[in-house]
Amino acid sequence: MDPDRAASSVAGDPSPPPPPPPPQQQQPPSRYESQKRRDWNTFLQYLRSHRPPLSLAGCSGAHVIEFLKYLDQFGKTKVHAPGCTFFGHPNPPAPCVCPLKQAWGSLDALIGRLRAAYEENDGHQDSNPFGARAVGVYLRQVKENQAKARGIPYEKKKKKRKRFQDTETPNEGRSVGGAGAEASLSAGVAVSGASATSTSTVAEAFSTSTAVGDGSRAPSAGSSAP
């Protein structure tokens, strides 16, 4: 026998290294996180397309309100004017020429997502323009005006606690009332500058929740303002 092979058989061949663990699959982002990212990118594009262009550091509550008013042109909620025959009518029997606007619930949820995205992108909570008092006041005004115009009161739903009777078995569960389903709205966002000689367009899709009332949505912004 070859001395080298004999020595190798006595010492034993080194065992091969264990195979590397399989790469962990990253969980896809939730619907809320995807929506928040799209809204944040849309707002940044709006700032770049503004005339004159705005920086995030120079953005204030007034600019946020301007952004919300700009989005009204892509709304799908009929808001009757005070002089309209159907003002305050929840179910108008005929069409009218009143404008379509973003529903209050959509704007409230949008501000909640943008407020969270601002702080996640190294923004300070104290200087968060989406949490400014003026933004909260504006959202409350939109809520009240749309409630009067559409004849739909926005009242907070009180949670009713169910009392169990002594005869109830321990295995019986408690049913929890879920919130209304959310519908999504997608519209192309076109941004026009204030200057007559320069115009820019945002081709990115803008998507917001159209749930009205106190349905399940992103953290509410209306209640943030004192």
Q: For residue 150, what pLDDT is reported?
A: 84
pLDDT confidence of residue 43: 95
Q: Which residue has the tokens 């909260």?
A: 136
- Residues 141-190: pLDDT tens digits? 999 999 998 887 766 555 555 544 444 444 433 333 333 333 333 333 43
* Tens digit of each residue's pLDDT (9 = 90 or more) over 69-98: 999 999 999 999 999 999 998 888 899 999
Cα 156–Cα 40–Cα 189 angle in degrees, nearest 5: 95
Rounded average pLDDT over 128-141: 95
Q: How many CB atoms lie within 10 A of CB 207?
A: 17
Is residue 39 pLDDT above 60, yes or no?
A: yes
1: helix, coil or strand?
A: coil
Q: If residue 208 lies in a helix (H) or strand (E), which one and from where to where?
A: strand 205-209
| Beta strand 184-188 pairing with 77-78 | unpaired
Amino acid at 26: Q
Per-domain residue ranges of the chain: 31-150
Res 27: pLDDT: 80
pTM flag (> 0.75): no
- State both tokens at 175: 């049913």
pLDDT at 65: 96
Q: Look up residue 221 and give its two tokens.
A: 């912004």
Cβ distance 226 to 120 under 8 Å? no
CA–CA gap between residue 121 and residue 128 (Å, rounded): 11
pLDDT at 67 (0 to 100): 95
Give the C-alpha separation, 108 to 204, whole Å.
21
Of 103 and 209, more confident: 103
Q: What is the pLDDT of residue 195?
A: 37
Residue 35 above 70 pLDDT?
A: yes
